Structure 1
């Protein structure tokens, strides 16, 4: 049975993450996510980099992987910045059962803030300075609501317009983008997005339905399963 097999894979990996974290040192965190419970996807954790605990939520990156379903692929060696300024180098490896279904992920997060500072110092001493790069900020936390708010706020900032100034197609596109980022796979997300945008729950469902009915990829309509 798929659920039993998936549970067995998570159980087998849980003791392994302690060894990985111990091998890589105090700047390492290893996390197992169970996508079957996206609101509290962290089911095992070793080390501490992002400040989460067991029962915590996935980040924006995890939600994007969740949204890809069985088409998801590993995301390796990407660097983001936490909201408190840490630089984190991460790899996210999807977990599949024997049927190929994606049901979770094993994530390794390394705090490379100090390494980056040493690199910058050596560059200054040598007279070589690298151009500054803007890294995406990733929200890590135990509350999935904080992650959802961050995604909605970031999407609105890119449009440079408040919700009341958006035309209908712009509003539908906003919901389409949020849907592709996996936002509406989370229980209660429609209500939370509606509250964040200052609209009614019914209006949010209407825009989500329109976004899914006119998806640019031509995919079939999906049920509005979030509440």
Structure 2
């Protein structure tokens, strides 16, 4: 089975170059291998997100990883990078002959200029400004991606860790777990450091959040 997956990954390597050559400099195509979630980028062409081979997946990729074999393709969604680029993307899961998900092929298009033109035309025509686009962290350093996810959850609650109730703390770990954060090695110590708590506390919160989820599923 591993040979089959390796063959699929190898076959896609020249495909990413061909797609970018066809669509141009505003396109990036990435192949992710979920068997190595810390450094999932195994082939890449284009430079929309600034990543290279050996780079990490974004929080969107972690969400696909978390859903496992239940994951489906996510097509034509729009996000904004931390440096302000507006990116239209599609993520297509890779499956082996048993149907198991083991990776993804992602296409990212930098539509910043199109978005700016659309906004200008909208203002001139008196049209409503489009809704805020969510920000996504892309990078070669998986630790930076993890930090951004944790920070986003704390900002949503508008409270530091010390002011969160126990159920809110468990909810934070449950949410991070569902988004695939803890599939990444070193994720628990990284999250603990970001929250300013001990590793033991982080492992305890993660364990308890999973126990609560299991009990809810069996109820």
User: Is the structural similarity TM-score above 0.5?
Assistant: yes
The aligned counterpart of 2:84 is 85
Secondary structure of 2:213's partner? Answer: coil
Q: Distance in 1 between matches of 2:157 and 2:108?
A: 31
Cα distance change on mapping 1:143 and 1:219 into 2, 3 Å: farther
Q: Could you tell me the TM-score, scaled by structure 1's length? A: 0.93
Superposition map of 1:5-44 within 5 A: 5-44=4-43
The aligned counterpart of 1:46 is 45
Query: What per-residue deviation string (whole Å, max 9, x for no partner) do you get for residues 172-226 of structure 1?
Result: 1110001001010000111010111111000000000000000178458xxxxxx
The aligned counterpart of 1:119 is 118
Q: 5+ unaligned residues in a row in structure 1: which ranges?
A: 221-227
Range moving further from structure 2, 192-201 or 111-120: 111-120
After the TM superposition, list the runs of 4 or more consecutive aligned residues in structure 1 that deviate by more than 6 angstroms.
Answer: none
RMSD over equivalenced CA pairs, Å: 1.3
The aligned counterpart of 1:57 is 56
Q: Distance in 1 between matches of 2:29 and 2:118?
A: 25
Cα distance change on mapping 1:13 and 1:173 into 2, 3 Å: same
1:117, distance to aligned residue in structure 2 (A):
1.4
The aligned counterpart of 1:208 is 206
Q: Could you tell me the TM-score, scaled by structure 2's length? A: 0.96
Higher relative helix content: 2
Q: Distance in 2 between matches of 1:71 and 1:213?
A: 21
* 1:141 corresponds to 2:139: yes
1:17, distance to aligned residue in structure 2 (A):
1.0
Range moving further from structure 2, 127-136 or 19-28: 127-136
Cα distance change on mapping 1:4 and 1:66 into 2, 3 Å: same
Q: 5+ unaligned residues in a row in structure 2: which ranges?
A: none
The aligned counterpart of 1:223 is none
1:133, distance to aligned residue in structure 2 (A):
1.4
Secondary structure of 1:92's partner? Answer: strand
The aligned counterpart of 1:188 is 186
1:161, distance to aligned residue in structure 2 (A):
1.1
1:93, distance to aligned residue in structure 2 (A):
0.1
The aligned counterpart of 2:172 is 174
Secondary structure of 2:38's partner? Answer: helix
Q: Distance in 1 between matches of 2:57 and 2:119?
A: 31
Q: Distance in 2 between matches of 1:201 and 1:104?
A: 29
